[in-house]
């Protein structure tokens, strides 16, 4: 039992799971699950009790039993105990102070990445305000490579997302060219297919690969279909660069997606066997989102933000090129409004970076959420300051296939100019060579020349 007294009122929390849930900043998903704090006062009491909790508690009390959940087993079996000794004496509150200290730098955070469990990252985020999350995230540098270098400080990449509701090849190609002429696509040219037909996936992969090869574009492609389809596409000789999969923070959540750790390993090894990366072998692309476990009835009474962090342990096991939270996509049932979406996006980015992941963010909302483009502009700016590895580039910011609002090619230009950040180095060089961008990092080509 955990407890804390506020104005002579003793608040008690029967388990670590309850303490974590009650300490979470307000969000509609936890309210829907019936696990949120009943009042602001109770939330503060839980946060105070959590701040006094030794970090070692998370190695002694798994939120889901080791025997019944393979994600729990992964977390405990891969924990780096030697590196953990540097922070083993700290409480959650002390850990926050350590992270914020002027004497804690990138190299120290890098050394601790695999010593920090998802629950530790989630716990400390719950007692941090927005500026704390941004400041610590900005200290982290997570670099990955395939055909270019993503995550270098001073750079921000974009996923070019040319989705189409019927997978029309001409329409997709028009969006790809539009994005490239706005300097988008250095993280990946990634298409969510409208159907799950293997033949469509192979066709799309060949289309993007042909364009990449014709113009010697230093980037990578990905069709965001189920991993089993991508494995089949590899077996058929398709030009697969990255293997994609949505993942969650419990074994039951991943089962609802039709996956387990063994299947992810199979996909990882299949992509590695192709050897298509020219400067690196980070071949996996994962997407996550707060609320996925609750929507699958696989949350075990654990708050959605902690479960999101547990998904990052799954991603971390496969050395991904890209990981992004699709922060507002699941809907207002889980993140009700712009305020909750903004906080969740910063938490997700912080926890992922702290654990050593190349975190990006799909800064987005659905049309029935109490949010608008002003909220997305605010989150984009905050994540840019925090050092987010990549964002989405959607034509007009309106995904006409998935029916949600994200960030546009123009949004990427805004944040790059505002913060004086650039595309990935190899992609920047290509943009300069092609005359798409000048040496002041301004886009100079706004139309397609034919001839």
Question: Binding site for adenosylcob(III)alamin: what residues are annotated?
Answer: 193, 245, 295, 401
The CA-based angle 265-270-275, given to 5 degrees, is: 125
Q: Are 430 and 217 in contact (CB under 8 A)?
A: yes
- The Cα 422–Cα 424 span in angstroms is 7
Phi-psi bin for 331: left (phi > 0), alpha (psi -120 to 50), beta? Answer: left
Q: Buried b vs exposed e over 393-408: b needs ≥16 C-beta within 10 Å?
A: bbbebebebbebbbbb
Alpha carbon distances (Å) from 124 to 58, 91, 113, 334, 416 = 12, 9, 14, 21, 30
- For residue 338, how many C-alpha atoms fall within 13 Å in the half-sphere facing its CB? 12
- The Cα 261–Cα 255 span in angstroms is 10
Q: Which residues pair with 286 in a beta bridge?
A: 245, 323
Give the number of other Cβ atoms within 10 Å of residue 366's Cβ.
17
Could you list the residues known to form a binding site for substrate, using ranges.
Answer: 159-161, 192, 287, 362
- The Cα 331–Cα 294 span in angstroms is 12
Tokens 């503060």 found at: 44
- The Cα 208–Cα 159 span in angstroms is 14
């Amino acid at each position: 039992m955990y407890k804390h007294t506020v104005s002579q009122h003793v608040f008690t929390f029967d388990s670590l799971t309850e303490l974590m849930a009650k300490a979470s900043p307000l969000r509609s998903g936890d309210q829907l699950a019936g696990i949120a704090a009943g009042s602001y006062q109770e939330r503060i009491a839980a946060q105070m009790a959590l701040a006094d909790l030794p970090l070692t508690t998370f190695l002694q009390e798994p939120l889901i039993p080791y025997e019944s959940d393979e994600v729990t087993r992964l977390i405990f079996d891969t924990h780096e105990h030697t590196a953990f000794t540097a922070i083993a004496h700290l409480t959650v509150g002390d850990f926050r102070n350590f992270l914020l200290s002027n004497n804690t730098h990138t190299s120290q955070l890098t050394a601790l990445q695999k010593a920090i469990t998802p629950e530790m990252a989630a716990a400390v985020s719950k007692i941090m305000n927005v500026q704390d999350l941004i400041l610590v995230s900005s200290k982290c540098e997570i670099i990955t490579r395939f055909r270019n270098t993503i995550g270098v400080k001073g750079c921000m990449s974009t996923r070019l997302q040319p989705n189409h509701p019927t997978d029309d090849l001409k329409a997709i190609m028009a969006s790809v060219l539009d994005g490239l002429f706005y300097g988008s696509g250095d993280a990946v040219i990634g298409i969510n297919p409208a159907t799950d037909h293997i033949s469509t996936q192979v066709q799309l992969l060949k289309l993007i690969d042909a364009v990449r090869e014709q113009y010697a574009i230093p980037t990578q492609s990905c069709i965001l279909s189920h991993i089993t389809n991508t494995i089949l596409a590899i077996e058929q000789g398709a030009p697969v660069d990255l293997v994609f999969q949505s993942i969650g923070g419990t074994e039951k959540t991943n089962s609802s997606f039709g996956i387990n750790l063994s299947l992810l390993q199979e996909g990882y090894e299949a992509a590695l066997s192709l050897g298509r990366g020219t400067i690196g072998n980070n071949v996996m692309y994962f997407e996550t989102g707060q609320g996925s476990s609750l929507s699958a009835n696989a949350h075990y009474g654990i708050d959605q933000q902690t479960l999101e962090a547990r998904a990052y342990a799954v991603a971390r096991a496969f050395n991904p090129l890209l990981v992004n939270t699709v922060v507002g996509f699941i809907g207002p049932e889980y993140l009700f409004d712009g305020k909750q979406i903004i906080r969740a996006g910063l938490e997700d980015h912080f926890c992922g970076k702290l654990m050593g992941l190349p975190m990006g963010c799909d800064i987005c909302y659905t049309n029935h959420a109490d949010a608008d483009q002003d909220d997305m502009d605010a989150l984009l700016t905050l994540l840019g300051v925090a050092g987010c590895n990549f964002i989405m580039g959607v034509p007009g910011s309106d995904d006409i296939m998935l029916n949600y609002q994200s960030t546009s090619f123009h949004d990427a230009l805004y944040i790059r100019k505002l913060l004086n950040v650039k595309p990935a180095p190899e992609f920047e060089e290509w943009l300069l060579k092609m005359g798409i961008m000048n040496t002041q990092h301004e886009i100079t080509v706004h139309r397609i020349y034919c001839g």
